[in-house]
Chain A
Amino acid sequence: MDEVFLAVILLVDATIRVATPLVLAAFAALYGERAGVVDIGLEGKMLAGAFFAAAVASSTGNPWLGLLAAVAASVALSLVHGFACITHNGNQVVSGMAINILVAGLAPTLAYAWFHQGGQTPLLPASARLPQIHLPGVEALSPIPIVGPIYREIFDDANVLIWLTVLVVVATQWVLTRTRFGLRLRAVGESPAAVDTAGISVTKLRYQAVIITGVLTGVAGAYLSTAHGAGFVRDMTAGKGYLALAALIFGKWRPWPTLFACLLFAFTDAVQVRLQGVPLPVVGVIPVQFIQMLPYVLTVLLLAGFVGKAVAPKASGIPYVKER
């Protein structure tokens, strides 16, 4: 009994750790898309964030400077995206894709040039990684059944970025529904002409949105290389940017359902890791490749069948040109 319980708790813990970058990326995209800017370049921005976080943390030994560098790099890419799509009414998918391809090539190249380790950054020591937060009273609570293990395994020693992500989720919900910025953001994704005629700059609003997208993807990248992992590895985002977009659609562009979708994807991923090499009843040991497919198969199934009609913000993906 106890062992099963502990296994479940560990699974939940793993889910949270895997979900964190997904949630950050999905919420990053949420800001953009609610404002009408589709960002398929999450993947590239996250990767850039991961690289710069690891590179700076490795050279300075300071993970916070790494985080800052990650955010700066990702915001810079966001501004490129904004310049192409908002200022010049370019195609948002093309621009996003260009960023993905650019970073996928550039990051390992820079890593190779700077660190000479085959496109990776050196393994980071604990001091150069973002810290975990130790909570008080773990010892005291430990003997208490259920609450004790949950507190110890899930809440204690969670990475600082996990807590930050929780904050982002709650704040997003609040910003979107309760603030002036949120109202305008939602409006500009539905009907930019209405925003324009209300005397608000569509361009400015959309830039603000993509900057937020940049900040959050930067943090997601830093999480991958300096919190969850200990250094940058080529292609370390492994499609998480796309998965985050899928979660956003599955969540119908709303904060709580999007969070739920991310957790679901992360959960299948955590299960997937535990199923590798484990013999199952009837089928026996399933080849690793099939198990690794699980989250993606789930994505396709969910998006194809269970989401119902997902209604995107009406002006999402469409540049705003004054016209009758």
Chain B
Amino acid sequence: MPDTPTTAPTPPALETRGVNKWFGANHANRDVSLAVPKGTIHGVIGENGAGKSTIMSIVYGYLPADSGAILVDGRPVAVKSPRDALAAGVGMVHQHFMLVDPFTVLENVLLGAEGGVTLAAGMERARAELVRLARDYGLEVDLDRPVGELPVGAQQRVEILKALYRGADILILDEPTGVLTPQETDHLFRILRALREQGKTIVIITHKLREIMELTDNVTVMRRGEVVANVRTAETSKEQLAELMVGRKVLLRVEKAPARPGPVVLEVSGLTVRDGSGVERVKGVGFSVRAGEIVGIAGVSGNGQSELLEALAGMRPVAGGSVRLRGEELADRPGLFNAKALRGLRVGHVPEDRQKVGLITSFEARENAILGHHDDQAYNGRVLMDRAAVLSRCEAEMEAYDVRPRDARLRAANFSGGNQQKIVLAREIERNPDLLLVGQPTRGVDIGAIEFIHKRLVRLRDEGKAILLVSVELDEIVSLSDRILVMFDGRLMGEVAPQDADERRMGLMMAGVEAAT
């Protein structure tokens, strides 16, 4: 068993001993032993596919372990299902939320803890209890709104409320900040600190070393299914953690030469886009992207960036304005302005939501590697598809992008988030597009892979391609972009040069307070 950094007088709140888990031939957890002292915030970091979600799902009883033991407060517990974990005081907020969208917040919290055959009494009790929790920890949400209508930050608070209402003393959060805006992240951290003060124990999985340094007391580092280190946060540094995670030195900055912009590739003016329910989400936006530059669009999520990107990728009709690709007008030509035709016009698109839009998760990796290009000569014989060509293409891409496990026949759903992202990126970048539209390229991706993806994007730029980058990660925007546009409420607030982009100024622009001067 690895040494525990904090020598607590009381037994650790949560401990795993020698846990092993196999997915087929994939050894996802190897003798994982970790101990979380009571009343602390404990970080778990590691590359994509290191087995972080797996070990936590085992602790929560969502996945069965092949061997090993789980101890809560020093006592071994048999967790066969989430019910057992909840009974032992372990709650979990999953990477993908486990909420019933049409249900109200109250109903979601009540599910599984109804407190009787009928609901009325339980509802009253839950309402009172939730008001108390909201007050004590800053977990405000409107209890009677359907959760599907809530912003992600609020949905996450509902998940935390669910766990607390079930009496969780140990709260596990799997990449909670991946989908949050900086403000929401701050809010979440305030909540977590308040919980720690009340003696709760928190385990948080994240890829963001800044958050680890800011929030946690101890850190466990995993690599390829194993625990490689347990350290006290105060005694380590970002650089050291990064090296422990990846097993080599990692560059935490993006190195790039100044851009050498060429001719304009994409020119947008007065573009308006409506969402599915007819609400105008992009309100007369204009900008241009030149060959050989990366233009970043910053903004708090939900300010129209997603709709803008989707419209440019031909997935959403434009309501007005002009979109020119290499000088050619697309906006009024549905024959050209659709996802398929755009691909022919050498436009690549890495969608924001890799699971719903970027991949067909029930398809194998090799099938996903040619999605949208399945009509290409290269993969088709006279009648049948050339499966060997598809397979070798996918294998080459997996090799080049270090997708793990290197198994082209594995269904996309069974790759970890970061590896799924690499499959999509490889597909789009390796077609060598003139214009690449990228949404959230590194959401949920580990630092090693982020370094790789960033390098790859910069190289694409240096090859003279135009890149439009949409990201809610301010750091990413600032370090990658040659020009930054800030979007707020469907409008562009202005343009900032990356060297002038300090956090305060960007923050104000993203909040719509201040326009660029």
- A324 and B96 in contact, given A180-B114, A180-B117, A191-B101 (Cβ under 8 angstroms): yes
With a cutoff of 8 Å between Cβ atoms, the chain B residues found around residue A184 in the complex are 111-112
A51-59, A121-129, A195-203, A214-222 - interface stretch: A195-203
In the assembled complex, the Cα of A323 lies from the Cα of B86 at a distance in Å of 20
CB distance from B33 to the nearest CB of A (A): 24
B189 within 8 Å of A by Cβ? no
Report which of B95, B101, B108 forms a contact with A324, defined as CB distance below 8 A: B95
Q: A197-B98, A199-B112 are in contact. Are A178 and B103 (CB under 8 A)?
A: no
Contact of A190 among B100, B119, B162 (CB under 8 A): B100
CB-CB under 8 A from B113, the residues of chain A are: 198
Query: Which B residues are in CB contact (< 8 Å) with A181?
Result: 117
Q: In the complex, which residues 159-201 of chain A have their Cβ closer than 8 Å to any Cβ of chain B?
A: 178-181, 183-184, 186-187, 190-191, 193-201
Tell whether, in the assembled complex, residue B62 and residue A187 are in contact, meaning their CB atoms are under 8 Å apart.
no
Q: Is the CB of A190 within 8 A of B101?
A: yes
B118–A199 contact, CB under 8 A? Answer: no
**Which residues of the other chain, A, contact B53 by a CB distance below 8 angstroms?**
324
Query: Which size class do B's interface residues fall under?
Result: 35 or more
With A183-B110, A322-B62 as known contacts, state yes or no: A198 contacts B119, CB within 8 Å. Answer: no
| A199:B102 contact, CB within 8 angstroms | no
Which of chain B's residues has its CB closest to A197's CB?
Answer: B98
> Across the interface, which residues of B come within 8 angstroms of A197, CB to CB?
60, 62, 82, 92, 94, 98
In the complex, number of A-B residue pairs with CB atoms less than 8 Å apart:
78
Contact A183 B119 (CB under 8 A): yes
Contacting pair B120 A178 (CB below 8 A) = yes
Residues of B within 8 A of A195 (CB): 111-112
Q: Which residue of A is nearest B413, CB measured?
A: A323
**Distance in angstroms between the alpha carbons of A184 and B94 in the assembled complex:** 20
Contacts A191-B100, A194-B98, A324-B413 given; does A183 touch B107 at CB 8 Å: yes
**Complex Cα–Cα for A197 and B86 (A):** 9
Per-residue 0/1 for B142-180: is the Cβ within 8 Å of any A Cβ (1 yes, 0 no)?
A: 000000000000000000001000000000000000000
Give how many A residues have a beta carbon under 8 Å from the other chain's beta carbons.
23
Chain A proximity of B121: nearest CB distance (Å)? 11
Q: Could you tell me if A190 and B112 are in contact, using CB atoms closer than 8 angstroms?
A: no
CB-CB under 8 A from B100, the residues of chain A are: 186-187, 190-191, 194
Contact B111 A178 (CB under 8 A): no
**Cross-chain contact of B111 among A179, A198, A201, A323 (Cβ < 8 A):** A198
A183 to B119 CA separation, bound complex (whole angstroms): 8
Q: Closest residue of chain B to A177, judged by CB?
A: B119
Min distance, Cβ A219 to any Cβ of chain B, angstroms: 24
Q: How far is the CA of A186 from the CA of B413 in the complex (A)?
A: 26
Instruction: Find A198's partner among B96, B102, B162 (CB 8 Å cutoff).
Output: B162
What residues of B have a CB within 8 angstroms of the CB of A323 in the complex? Answer: 361, 413-414
Partner of A178, one of B63, B83, B95, B119: B119
Q: Are A191 and B98 closer than 8 Å at their CB atoms?
A: yes
The answer to the question of B246 belonging to the interface, with a C-beta cut-off of 8 Å to chain A, is: no
B288 on the A face (CB < 8 A): no
Q: Which residues of B are found within 8 Å of A200, using beta-carbon distances?
A: 83, 111-112
A228 within 8 A of B: no
Contact assessment for A194 and B99 in the assembled complex, using a CB-CB cutoff below 8 Å: yes
For B86, what are the chain A residues with a Cβ–Cβ distance below 8 Å? 199
Interface: A152 (CB within 8 A): no
Say yes or no: is A314 at the interface (Cβ < 8 Å to chain B): yes
A187→B53 CA distance, assembly (Å)? 24
- Least Cβ distance of B350 to chain A in Å? 20
B185 within 8 A of A: no
Interface residues as binary, A290-324 with B (CB distance below 8 Å gives 1, 0 otherwise)? 00000000000000000000000010000000111
Asked if B116 is an interface residue, CB under 8 A from chain A, the answer is yes
Q: Once bound together, how far apart are the Cα atoms of A316 and B94, in whole Å?
A: 23
Residues of A within 8 A of B108 (CB): 194
The verdict on B81 contacting chain A, using a C-beta distance below 8 Å, is yes
A324-B413 Cα distance, complex, nearest whole Å: 6
Q: Which residues of B contact A193 (CB under 8 A)?
A: 98
Distance to closest chain A CB from B85 (angstroms):
8
Q: How far is the CB of B411 from chain A (nearest CB, A)?
A: 9
8 Å CB contacts to A: which residues of B109-131? 110-114, 116-120, 122
Min distance, Cβ A70 to any Cβ of chain B, angstroms: 28
> How far is B94's CA from A314's CA once the two chains are assembled, in angstroms?
20
The distance from the CB of B332 to the nearest CB of chain A, in whole angstroms, is: 28
Neighbour of B83 across the interface among A183, A191, A199, CB < 8 A: A199
Q: State in angstroms the CA–CA spacing of A274 and B409 once bound together.
A: 62
Considering only residues 364-419 of chain B, those with a C-beta below 8 Å from chain A are 413-414
Q: Is the CB of A187 within 8 A of B117?
A: no
> Most B CB atoms within 10 A — which of A179, A186, A187?
A187
Inter-chain contact B103/A190, CB cutoff 8 Å: yes
13 A-B residue contacts at CB 8 Å?
A178-B119, A181-B117, A183-B110, A183-B111, A191-B98, A191-B100, A195-B112, A196-B82, A197-B92, A198-B113, A199-B83, A314-B101, A324-B413
Beyond A190-B101, A197-B82, A314-B101, 4 additional contacts (C-beta under 8 Å) are A194-B100, A198-B82, A198-B98, A200-B83
